[in-house]
Structure 1
Amino acid sequence: MVTIAIMGAAGRMGRTLIQVISQDPQCRLGGALESSQCALLGQDAGVVAGVGTQGVSLSSDPDDLSACDVFIDFSSVEAFEHHVEIASRFKKAYVVGTTGLREEHFKALDEASKVIPVLWAPNFSVGVNLMVKLVQMAAEVLSSGFDVEIVEAHHRLKKDAPSGTAVKLLEVLKEAYKTEDVIYGRSGITGERPQGQIGVHAVRGGDIVGDHTVSFCGIGERIEITHRASSRETFARGAVRAAKFLAGKPAKRYTIEEVLGL
């Protein structure tokens, strides 16, 4: 049995993670961390998530997480440094799905990985990570004579753009095309599209969970690889799978590809 603590437990992903944990016979909820300003502190985390009493209250005290095996964090960039410090201090495995992280945050993850097992991924969906592999394969074949564009769409509340998944897809394409020529959106008289340029476009609106499309546009033909998520549960299930993978592992940086066998 893997005991999991959720950081940012009252947020949209936090509640979904609690729902998934409550359905998994190999896991149990052991902690639910929130900021000291959260109006729901003291309430049962399961009740807040809509799955009934779990016997774990929302708390702003990190000590309430000390008995857990793994921490899962999908909270925010602003809370990240505090959370990685907590995970390192308690020597707990740390699964991170927060996007919008900067270079200094990844350095903090590298530092933490010296004392705890750490796994960060821009997307925990099995389908998205398979998509990344398919895009890599396609780019190797279509590296000449095809223009490539990334379009991602998310809900109106998402704070970062482009999405972490789009950034991952971009990294794969830049490597395949051997280019740093990237344009984020287009406006005005842009002129003829340069050979080898990669376009990245972000759509924000409504309650879109997450759509990603990579288009390879040739002369007389177009190949599109698309993934659409219809529920946050997809990401939560992947994160819980990662938490079970990380439990008991030695300290180092792990990848979602290792978890999924890709």
Structure 2
Amino acid sequence: MIRMVLNGCNGKMGKVISEMAKASTNISIVAGIDKNSSGLTYPCYNHINECEDEIDVILDFSRPDALDALCQYSKAKNIPIVFCTTGYTEKQLSKIHSLSEDIAVFHSANMSIGINIINNMLRSISNMLYKDFDIEIIEKHHNQKVDAPSGTALLLANTIKDSIEDETIFNNGRNGLHKRERNEIGIHAIRGGNIIGDHEIIFAGKGECIEIKHTAISREVFAIGALKACEYIYGKEKGLYSMDDVVNTSL
């Protein structure tokens, strides 16, 4: 049984993961980290440094400002860590990469298996379609999401950009009076209600339009991926891993 500590255990995703872990035969949550400890069936600490339990892996579903403490703790104790939080700055992403030089680190902008399959598809088709199609990304999330564009939209956009041989640029939101530039990849963020997560990639050509869409119906889809990530990284050597590794292993 893999012993896991869950950072952000009483957040929206933390609660879903806690429930799903109860049915797992491979993972057990031995402790949580959160300022709110109500309703939990396992020990909860205010700060990761207070945790002295025996741990095999750390799962983080919290906020970017927890990164430094998590990096220090996981490196000092040589514990693999899975980062599911979004909204990191470039400097913070660099810290995650640096941490992977010492321990096993798992980081993905989206833990959904479906999104990552789509991401793999985009690697195969984006360069081929770019010649004759304009590319736009639309992402929708609930009204409490703080980062825009979403980490997933940026994941998809960067995959498309890296797959295209020509130089392309991102246009976030598109505002003002100007025609669309040929080399643009449009990214649009919508915030409203309790939308869990909706991502659409549009390839708009002359006389035809290709649309690839993923809709998260429940937060369980992210919890499933997060638990799979914990299972995957357990026992791994130092290095940086992602959902690509999980998807490619499953296929």
Q: Please, what TM-score do these two structures have when normalized by structure 1?
A: 0.90
Query: Structure 1 CA distance, aligned partners of 2:115 and 2:52?
Result: 31
CA distance in 2, matches of 1:243, 1:88: 17
Q: 1:59 maps to what in 2?
A: 45
CA contact (8 A) 2:30 2:53 kept: no
Deviation per CA, 1:136-186, whole angstroms, max 9, x where unpaired? 222132121110000000111111011111101111121233323221112
> Contact 1:211–1:228 (CA<8 Å) still a contact in 2?
yes
Question: For the residues of structure 1 that align with 2:124 and 2:59, how far apart are their CA atoms?
Answer: 31
The letter of the residue matching 2:196 is: V
- Matches of 1:135 and 1:141 in 2, distance apart? 10
User: What 5-or-longer segments of structure 2 have no aligned partner?
Assistant: none
Q: Is the 8 A contact 2:5 2:31 kept in 1?
A: yes
Aligned-CA RMSD value: 1.5
Instruction: Find the aligned partners of 1:115 and 1:19 in 2 and give their Cα distance.
Output: 32
Query: In the alignment, what sits opposite 2:174?
Result: 186
Q: Which of structure 1's runs of 4+ aligned residues deviate more than 3 A?
A: none
CA distance in 1, matches of 2:227, 2:52: 17
1:223 aligns with 2:210: yes
**Residues 181 and 197 in structure 1, CA contact (< 8 A), matched pair in contact too:** yes
Q: Take 1:162 and 1:23, find their aligned partners in 2: how far apart are those partners?
A: 34
Partner of 1:214: 201
The within-5 A match list for 1:33-52 is 33-34=33-34, 38=35, 40-41=36-37, 43=38, 45=40
Tell me, yes or no, if structure 1 residue 16 matches structure 2 residue 21. Answer: no
Cα distance in 2 for residues equivalent to 1:66 and 1:112 = 22
Q: Is the 8 A contact 1:123 1:164 kept in 2?
A: yes
Secondary structure in 2 matching 1:78:
helix
The 3-state SS of whatever aligns with 1:82 is helix
Shift, 1:195, TM fit: 1.1
For the Cα contact (< 8 Å) 2:2–2:26, is it kept in 1?
yes
Q: Give CA deviations for 1:16-67 in whole Å, capped at 9, x if unaligned.
A: 1111111111111111011xxx2x33x452xxxxxxxx3x122124342541
* Cα distance in 2 for residues equivalent to 1:200 and 1:80: 27
For 2:239 and 2:31, the matched residues in 1 are separated by: 23
Give the unaligned 5+ runs of structure 1: 46-53
Given that 1:135 and 1:225 are in contact with CA atoms closer than 8 Å, whether structure 2 keeps it comes out as no
Alignment of 1:153 onto 2:140:
yes
Give a deviation string over 1:68-115, Cα, whole Å, max 9, x none.
110000100111111222221221110001111112212221222232
The within-5 A match list for 1:234-253 is 234-253=221-240
Are 2:117 and 2:247, in contact at CA under 8 Å, matched by a contact in 1?
A: no
Q: Which residue of 2 aligns with 1:91?
A: 78
Distance in 1 (alpha carbons) for counterparts of 2:143 and 2:107: 24
Residues in 2 aligned to 1:123 and 1:65: alpha-carbon distance in whole angstroms: 29
- In structure 1, what residue type is equivalent to 2:92? H
Q: Residues 7 and 32 of structure 1 are in contact (CA less than 8 Å); yes or no, is this contact kept in structure 2?
A: yes
Q: Give the Cα–Cα distance (whole angstroms) in 2 for the partners of residues 258 and 133 of structure 1.
A: 11
- One-letter amino acid of the counterpart of residue 221, structure 1: E
SS in 2 for 1:261: helix
Q: Is the 8 A contact 1:135 1:214 kept in 2?
A: no
In 1, Cα distance between the equivalents of 2:233 and 2:11?
Answer: 23
Q: Is the 8 A contact 1:32 1:65 kept in 2?
A: no
- Shifted more, 150-159 versus 108-117: the winner is 108-117
User: What is the count of residue pairs matched by the alignment?
Assistant: 247
User: In terms of mean alpha carbon deviation, does 250-259 or 24-33 score higher?
Assistant: 250-259
Q: Residue 184 and residue 96 in structure 1: after superposition, are their counterparts in 2 closer, same or farther (change >3 A)?
A: same
Determine if the alignment matches structure 1 residue 80 to structure 2 residue 80.
no
Q: 1:209-248: CA deviations, max 9, x gaps? A: 1000000000000000000001111011101101011111
**Aligned counterparts of 1:76 and 1:112: Cα–Cα separation in 2:** 18
Give the AA of the match of 1:148: I
Amino acid at match of 2:239: K
